[in-house]
Structure 1
Amino acid sequence: MDWNWFFSSIAQCSSAIVGIFGAFIITKVINSQAEYNSRENKIDNFINKSLFLKNKVEDRYFSWYNERKREEKLKKIRNNIRDRKEILSCEEYYIKYNFSIYDDRNQILKDIENIIRETTPDSNYYNAGYSGASVDGGSQLNQNIIDEEEAINKLKVEIIDHTRLLKDFLIQIRGESKKYNLLTYSIISNLILFLIGVIYPLSFLPVGNSFSLSFSFENMINILFSIKGFMLFIVGFIFSAIMIVFLVINIKLNLKVDFDEDKVNKVEIYSDIKNYSPYLKNLIDNMNFIEEYSQAD
């Protein structure tokens, strides 16, 4: 066997693999460092945007809008019962008349129940000709209600999009540690391959005709204190130092991959639309109720 060809081929193949993976690892570690810093900034930006949206919700006239819509729908129910003598369940009236989706459903159902009790033919209110307070405030009031509804719905869409981004971001940062662990194993493997697959085979070259493959401490000392050994040691030391630097950087990233717990908790809180306002909590609860009621039918 031509040992020169054998050892040089192993060294060349290994060095090519080490070079490819080394470039990939270095690029990945640098990108991970930049990505980590970027995500730290993203957390602050997400929290600030969430607070901004929460303040916008507080500036909207949810209570006024809910009251106007409730008065309008209750009047229609009262007139319907008096004119058509149609009695439905409270839940059926709630679904049929499309009350404000941001309003307290339980309170609406109680109001509907009171309307049914007051407006049925055997009630004192009915016999007295009670028809409830008028809510007809003219075209300007109706336009104000429409404008407020559009503003509220636009804000709702903006918050829903924002919470979706927060949920995706939380999924990303919770998977960070696995990525950094994989990089750590890759760096260690690449360093081992370089020492065993490149430096060690080159230490045998050039090989004479009388070469026999043997391992002894004396041979290692002779190689180490030769010019060839010194050159291989310098190359191996420099490459190992570079890999160790990036290994340390990656381990530090892995150790601090858990971002500020308080900030992450805030992001998690604001990823739920219910936490922006009680009215948005009503939105989710009412949507779930309508869906369940429809499926039951």
Structure 2
Amino acid sequence: MTADWNWFFSTLSQSTAAIVGIIGAFIIAKIFANQATFTEKNNRMKSLTVEAEKILDKIGTINFDWYNKHINAAAYADCSRKIRAVVEEDPAIITDENLLSIFTEAKFSIFTEKKTILENLRKEVEFVCQTNIDKRLQKEARERARKEAESGKLVGHAAINALIGSMPDFSSLSAPRTVLNIPDFSTPWPALHEERDRITQCHLEAKHHARIVAEFLESARGNPESPPQITWSLLLVGLIFIFGVIYPLTFMPATSAPEFSITNLWAAFLSVKGALLSLLVIAFTYVFYMFTRTNIKMKYAEDQLNKLHKLSQVDEYCEYFKFLPRSVE
């Protein structure tokens, strides 16, 4: 009994073609599904960026400098009164703990550096002490001049100048001098409260949007729509198609046991049968290449991901948000 190699090559080609068709259809369907998800996420990235720009525009309307100026002016005035009521000529009377307590009670704007305010308050303590020393020395000098004028040691213009200089100093009745930034204006509390509400609202919107962006970034991490497994699967299916479907057909019809040689393979491809099989290989290779390229290209732009990564941090929306306590966020 002579073996019929045509049955073998025909069965091999048909079985392999069925396997290639099933696996290829599954992979292509997966690529189409991933492509739809990828397009949706790309559009989502654009909408998240536009929404962030809207929030940034709203934050840009807030005048933090104006808010800090008025809030801190009232707080500095309160601190100055407390400092003058405590210190005399020794700045060591107010320790760092006392100064921190005065700072806390004054309710400065939270959008101001704490270290800078404490340094200004310490300068105020030293200034008040030096002012008190200067006042004491001036008072003692006037008292000596008055006694000398009354005792007759000074005569003429010197006595008159001494008597004039010994008159009470009314400069203390005017507004006390200070090194703090205390402008002469009334504090617009209603407008400040309204501005604070706007800041809180913008911060909450930025916080909520940052959470949404962070959640989206988690879903886009690692480019899940472009897994390398699909690329390798497509390449493997392409090789199976060529060596499991096309290559066996080159030996048909087989009148005897095939001989695997380059000469026979080259002669087969130069025939009409070989030309048709070559066209089939080219067509399927192009299809596999197209879907492989589509799968590889479904990766998110790095600049867009970096931009969204910044938008997932609340402090990136406004530099003043860093002063807000984390418990509020």
Place the TM-score, normalised by the shorter chain, in its bin. Answer: 0.5 to 0.7
- 8 Å contact from structure 1 (residues 118, 125) kept in 2: no
In the superposition, the TM-score normalised over structure 2's length comes to 0.57
Aligned to 1:27: 29
Aligned to 1:247: 292
Higher Rg: 2
- 8 Å contact from structure 1 (residues 18, 194) kept in 2: yes
Tell me the amino acid that sits aligned with residue 260 of structure 2: F
Choose from 105, 109, 116 the match for 2:125. 116
2: CA distance, partners of 1:38 / 1:200: 41
Give CA deviations for 1:99-131 in whole Å, capped at 9, x if unaligned.
323224454234322443356698469995859
- 8 Å contact from structure 2 (residues 238, 288) kept in 1: yes
Long gaps (5+) in structure 2: 88-92, 137-171
Aligned to 2:233: 186
- 8 Å contact from structure 1 (residues 164, 271) kept in 2: yes
Tell me the amino acid that sits aligned with residue 192 of structure 1: L
2: CA distance, partners of 1:102 / 1:118: 26
- The structure with the greater share of residues assigned to helix is 1
Aligned to 1:291: none
Tell me the amino acid that sits aligned with residue 203 of structure 2: K
Aligned to 2:52: 50
Tell me the amino acid that sits aligned with residue 125 of structure 2: I
Tell me the amino acid that sits aligned with residue 288 of structure 2: M
Give CA deviations for 1:107-162 in whole Å, capped at 9, x if unaligned.
4234322443356698469995859879885xxx5444333222202211222343
- 8 Å contact from structure 1 (residues 273, 281) kept in 2: no
Tell me the amino acid that sits aligned with residue 103 of structure 1: T
Long gaps (5+) in structure 1: 289-297
In the superposition, the TM-score normalised over structure 1's length comes to 0.61
- 8 Å contact from structure 2 (residues 12, 244) kept in 1: yes
Give runs of aligned pairs for residues 99-138 of structure 1, distance below 5 A: 99-118=108-127, 123=132, 128=172, 130=176
Give runs of aligned pairs for residues 5-44 of structure 1, distance below 5 A: 14-15=16-17, 17-35=19-37, 37-38=39-40, 40-44=42-46
Q: Which moved more, 1:117-126 or 1:70-79?
A: 117-126
Tell me the amino acid that sits aligned with residue 96 of structure 2: L
1: CA distance, partners of 2:8 / 2:104: 82
Give runs of aligned pairs for residues 58-69 of structure 1, distance below 5 A: 58-69=60-71
- 8 Å contact from structure 2 (residues 12, 245) kept in 1: yes
- 8 Å contact from structure 2 (residues 38, 225) kept in 1: no
> How many aligned positions are there?
276
Distance 1:59-1:282 versus aligned 2 partners, 3 A rule: closer
Aligned to 1:88: 96
Distance 1:13-1:161 versus aligned 2 partners, 3 A rule: farther
Tell me, what secondary structure is at the counterpart of 1:179?
Answer: coil
- How far 1:189 moved relative to its partner? 1.7
Q: Which moved more, 1:241-250 or 1:123-132?
A: 123-132
Give runs of aligned pairs for residues 203-218 of structure 1, distance below 5 A: 212=257, 214-216=259-261, 217-218=263-264
- 8 Å contact from structure 1 (residues 104, 282) kept in 2: no
CA RMSD of aligned residues (A): 5.2
- 8 Å contact from structure 1 (residues 15, 194) kept in 2: yes
2:73 equivalent to 1:71: yes
Give runs of aligned pairs for residues 134-213 of structure 1, distance below 5 A: 141-166=188-213, 175-176=222-223, 179=226, 182-200=229-247, 212=257
